[in-house]
Structure 1
Amino acid sequence: MDPILSPLQQTPQLRDIQDISSIPWWPPAPGWWLILGALVLIGYVLWRWRTPLSLRVPIPGITLGTWRWDAAAALRDLGRRAQRGQDPKATASELSELLRRIAMARLGRPACAGLTGSAWLEWLAAHDPNGFAWSERGQPLLFAPYAPPGVTAQDLMALIEAAEGWVSAREPKQPAWRWWRSRSVSASAGGGDV
């Protein structure tokens, strides 16, 4: 070797610095798969148990079952006022109106909006998820708003508790074709959810 040459001239095979290869976006890292799995699981849980969740926890932005939440709150308020001694006529008329709104929200406007009198009570008895005897014990709904005083607070509290059963009970499972058919019929009739 020649002592006069500089050290750079003595190594003839120098190479430039090489970049590392780019990181591909697919397939994602295992952490992203875990996050995706957790989101799918949370979505399934919210979809599967949407009615019980909507009754117990009002989540802002999620409007599944809000009529149930409002109806349960209105029934609790009505029950408190009936126990404090509110006029039975006013309580019976408010309960009758609230019960009709609950029935229309559960089963649609065409199913029950035009029913009055004993036909209304028979329809309630036929569609009640808890089997309350509406035909016999629901007479105060028909006559109390117009009759002289005679309805007791206990009678009205029994009706309020039966109406709470309407709110908390889940709808029976229907086959997919029946659900689709009932939605299309109610939509064409101008009905739908209230």
Structure 2
Amino acid sequence: MEQRIGSSSKPLEGAGFDPAFVPGLTSPVSGETEDTEPADAVEAADTHESTVTAEASEEAGETAGDEIPDGPVFEAADRRAKIVADHRGVRLSLDDQACEFRWDEIGAVETESPRFGKRFTITVHTPDRRWYPIEIEATSRALFAEWDDQLDAVMDKYFEDETPQTETPQTEEPRTEKEEPEESD
């Protein structure tokens, strides 16, 4: 009779089992690698896949430049953090964690530059009252104004504020009671 060593069930995921679990974020890459195939086979498979992808895009008449529309792009990064805002939305990454927000998933984007120091804070707010801040360390404080301008250009182009503009009612002249004509005798 054979016995298996170890558990055959998968570990459970979610906030109840992992306090660092946040929906929408990718899970960290584990340090363990499973090399079941020789390196030559993996390299050959990668080369084959890239050839097939290139042939398929040539047949469709697409090039890499066709996929990217002309428009402003904001990108800022330091040694740990990175933010990219373009036609697809806003992508944040910190160390090995990353999240992506499409423009329809964003309620607001807030920037904050400190009075002292070089950490520029960008916070993405979602309509369900969640926020995702990220701090980018700038090489100089002069970059803050440039980053603000670049992000404003992207927001003006792609972010649509869906709050309806209410028209202010025009004030009417106060009504006066009409005087009744006097009766003549």
TM-score by length of 1: 0.22
Structure (1 or 2) with the greater strand fraction: 2
Of structures 1 and 2, the one scoring higher in RCO (CA 8 A, sep 6+) is: 1
Structure (1 or 2) with the greater helix fraction: 1
